[in-house]
């Protein structure tokens, strides 16, 4: 979508076409296009229908706000999920910040969260379309904020309490995990992190890339790791943090909660098995979960925790261990069939098994449903029949 097409969408005529396109969302595409083209040119109809489609896709990230917002395909993919951006804005306020500049604001998702938290927000981006979209999103949601086209690397952000950046992690070949491909580059990020700032990075960032004195926070939303963020200056309050967002709210643990592997130890599988959240694993805080459930590791290199006790924890999913089953496939198949299991969820860690391929080879046909964990315990392959609680 070009700038002229987007600006047309914001006109009275464009809003009428957009509203009608929204009403026709369940109508076959060709039929909807034919009706809309009676009152608008083809390019305008395409822009409106694309926007309707993007709003539907955006509901996963922005919830009810999506129906009033505007997007571009690439910027929507890069945009932070609202729940995560809201958490981040809450941290800004907790540090006493009252103003924020977003250096590379995209379609303004983080500006929206910041403004909703009461921060004075400004954003810059090199892409005029994204700037126009961010400006329109603030207006559509009735939020204050200023946005302009500018190069984030040349903007003076010293008047603001905090700076936020989300470098584009794409090369000509698609998503890139090499910092040399980031825009702005990693050298600029390192310089920004010498101040009070927050930088969104890929969850796979290696721990040894995090500059000294900078906090790395991994965030998951309802069990899915969404991003990592680097916090610097007065915003850094730990070295490593795992934050999980779920239906019950938000919880965090840091290295201060982690006694280390020597303290929790390694042992046989007990009555309960715990599967740490992905953010916990990325943050290297699995042994903090073990300590929290009065448990131990099942293997020094496997992210499963076991305990004799049943705990509810936001940092791991719990399972009651029902049985130890044979690990060899032929005997495993017989054991599952003997128990009448036909629907099987297979979870695996530390073993070279394809759950889909194994399930197909097992060819189960019983009426019962079960969960099977395939992992290593003390270095040996192990099969556990478990029940989530």
Question: Tokens representing 223?
Answer: 């069990």
Phi, psi of 191 (to 5 degrees): -65, -40
Q: Which residues contact 137 (CB under 8 A, 6 or more apart)?
A: 69, 70, 107, 108, 109, 111, 112
The answer to whether 76-253 and 261-388 have equal CATH topology is: no
Q: In sequence order, which residues have a C-beta less than 8 Å from that of residue 118 and are 6 or more positions away? A: 93, 98
Q: Is the pTM of this model over 0.75?
A: yes
pLDDT score for 170:
61
* CATH fit for domain 261-388, picks 3.30.2130, 3.30.1360, 1.20.1530, 1.10.150: 3.30.2130
- Break the chain into its structural domains and give their ranges: 3-68, 76-253, 261-388
Nearest by Cα to 253 from 166, 316, 319:
316
pLDDT at res. 119? 98
- Cβ neighbours, 10 Å, residue 387: 11
* Torsion, Cα of 278, 56, 144, 226 (10° steps): 10
- Closest by CA position to 313, among listed 283, 280, 345, 336: 280
**pLDDT value for 318:** 98
Q: Measure the CA angle with vertex 68, ends 42 and 21; round to 5°.
A: 30
DSSP 8-state assignment for residue 168: B
Provide the pLDDT for residue 39.
87
pLDDT of res. 115: 98
**N residues, the chain:** 389
The SS3 assignment for 193 reads coil
Integer Cα distance of 53 and 73 in angstroms:
10
Indicate the pairing of strand 174-175 with strand 368-377: unpaired
Structure tokens at 42: 């083809």
Distances from the Cα of 216 to the Cα of 67, 237, 377, angstroms:
33, 10, 30
Q: What is the DSSP string of 276-306?
A: E-HHHHHTT-HHHHHHHTT-EESSTTS--EE
How far is the C-alpha of 300 from the C-alpha of 322, rounded, in Å?
A: 23
Q: 85 to each of 82, 91, 160, 201, 264, how far by Cα in Å?
A: 5, 10, 18, 13, 34
- Other beta carbons less than 10 A from residue 259's beta carbon: 12
- In a 3-state reduction of DSSP, which class is residue 373? strand
Question: Are the beta carbons of 331 and 337 closer than 8 angstroms?
Answer: no
Instruction: Give the C-alpha separation, 316 to 275, whole Å.
Output: 5
* 161 in Cβ contact with 99 (< 8 Å): yes
Classified by CATH at the fold level, domain 76-253 comes out as: Rossmann fold (3.40.50)
The pLDDT value given to residue 357: 97
What is the block-wise mean pLDDT of the chain (389 residues), using blocks of 10 residues?
A: 92 96 94 92 92 97 98 95 97 96 97 98 97 98 98 96 89 57 91 97 94 98 96 97 96 98 97 98 98 97 97 97 97 97 97 96 96 95 97
The DSSP bridge partners found for residue 164 are: 102, 198
Q: How many CB atoms lie within 10 A of CB 42?
A: 10
DSSP string spanning 26-74?
A: TS-HHHHHHHHTTTS-HHHHHHHHHHHHHHHHHHHHHGGGGGG----HH
Q: Report the DSSP pairing between strands 197-201 and 162-165.
A: parallel
């Amino acid at each position: 979508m070009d700038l002229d097409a987007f600006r047309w969408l914001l006109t009275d005529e464009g809003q009428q076409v957009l509203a009608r396109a929204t009403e026709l969302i369940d109508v076959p595409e060709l039929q909807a296009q034919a009706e809309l083209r009676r009152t608008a040119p083809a390019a305008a109809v395409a822009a409106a229908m694309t926007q309707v489609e993007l709003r539907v896709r955006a509901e996963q990230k922005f919830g009810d706000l999506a129906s009033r917002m505007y997007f571009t395909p690439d910027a929507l993919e890069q945009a932070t999920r609202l729940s995560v951006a809201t958490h981040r804005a809450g941290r800004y306020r907790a540090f006493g910040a009252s103003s924020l500049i977003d250096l590379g604001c995209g379609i303004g998702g983080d500006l929206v969260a910041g403004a909703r938290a009461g921060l004075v927000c400004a954003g810059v981006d090199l892409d005029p379309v994204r700037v126009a979209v961010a400006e329109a999103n603030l207006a559509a949601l009735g939020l204050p904020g200023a946005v302009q086209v500018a190069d984030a690397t040349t903007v003076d952000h010293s008047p603001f309490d905090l700076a936020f950046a989300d470098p584009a992690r794409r090369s000509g070949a698609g998503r890139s995990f090499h910092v040399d491909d980031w825009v702005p580059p990693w050298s600029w990020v390192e310089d920004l992190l010498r101040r009070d700032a927050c930088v969104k990075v890929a969850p796979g960032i290696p721990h040894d890339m995090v500059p000294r004195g900078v906090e790395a926070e991994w965030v998951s939303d309802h069990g899915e790791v969404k991003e990592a963020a680097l916090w610097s200056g007065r915003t850094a309050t730990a070295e490593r943090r795992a934050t999980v967002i779920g239906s019950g709210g938000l919880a965090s643990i840091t290295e201060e909660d982690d006694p280390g592997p020597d303290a929790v130890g390694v042992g046989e599988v007990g009555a309960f098995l715990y599967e740490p959240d992905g953010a916990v694993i990325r943050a290297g805080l699995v042994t903090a979960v073990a300590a929290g459930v009065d448990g131990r590791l099942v293997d020094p290199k496997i992210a499963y925790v076991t305990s004799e006790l049943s705990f509810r924890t936001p940092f791991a999913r719990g399972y009651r261990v029902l049985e130890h089953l044979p690990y060899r496939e032929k005997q495993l198949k017989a054991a599952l069939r003997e128990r009448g299991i036909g629907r099987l969820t297979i979870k695996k860690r530390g073993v070279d098994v394809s759950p889909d391929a194994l399930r197909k080879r097992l060819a189960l046909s019983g009426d019962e449903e079960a969960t099977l964990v395939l992992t290593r315990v003390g270095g040996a392959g192990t099969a556990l029949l478990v029940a989530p609680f």
